[in-house]
Amino acid sequence: MNPLQKLFEDQLADIHYAEKQLVKALPKMAKAAQHASLKKALTDHLAETKEQIVRIGEAFESIGKKPKTKTCEAILGLLKEGGEIMEEYAGTPAIDAAIICAGQKVEHYEIATYGCLVTWAKLLGHKQAASLLSKTLNEEEVADKGLSTIAESACNAEAEAA
Ligand SMILES: [Fe+2]
Ligand SMILES: [Fe+2]
């Protein structure tokens, strides 16, 4: 197999695992969030994440492969740290800022992975996969910017003022 093709399938399996972990983590983050805007952003992104998992399955199928997952140590580490910071700041005015920080670390990981996947899909001539994964990449970028906006418009100032 073309090594880039192998790498593409590996990383698609990696992000598939990561998205499945996020379906479990996002409801906990939304529950811990205090601001209604942050709760909504996380809940909305949960719905998008479920769609993204469907899209990954479609991307695998579009290249004639069965959907696979591969343990992603990075997401496990990010979520472990996210859980720890949420515990540490629970009940304090900085809880939302802490959740946003943990969430943005995850978004940046996803953006890096989907960015590579889209570029490789185009190089490999996987047009349908490139289009599916571009849609997800765009959602991750919008989610990341949305978290910045919520932090800057409310949560950071509240954490600092307290
Ligand atoms: Fe995602
Ligand atoms: Fe995301």
Residue 118 C-beta-side C-alpha neighbours within 13 Å: 15
pLDDT digits (tens, 9 = 90+) for 66-97: 999 999 999 999 999 999 999 999 999 999 99
For residue 156, pLDDT over 90 is answered with: no
For residue 52, pLDDT over 80 is answered with: yes
Residue 29 buriedness (CB in 10 A; 0-12 / 13-18 / 19+): buried
User: Mean pLDDT for the chain?
Assistant: 96
For residue 5, pLDDT over 80 is answered with: yes
Count Cβ neighbours within 10 Å for each residue of 95-106 and write b for 16 or more, e otherwise.
bbbbbbbbbbbb
For residue 155, pLDDT over 90 is answered with: no
For ligand 1, the distance from its centroid to the CA atom of residue 52, given in whole angstroms, is: 6
Q: Tell which residue, 66, 62, 82, has the closest CA to residue 18.
A: 82
The pLDDT value recorded for residue 150 is 96
For ligand 2, the distance from its centroid to the CA atom of residue 63, given in whole angstroms, is: 24
Separation of CA 17 from chain center: 11
For residue 13, pLDDT over 90 is answered with: yes
For residue 99, pLDDT over 90 is answered with: yes
For ligand 2, the distance from its centroid to the CA atom of residue 69, given in whole angstroms, is: 17
Confidence of residue 115 (pLDDT cuts 50, 70, 90): very high
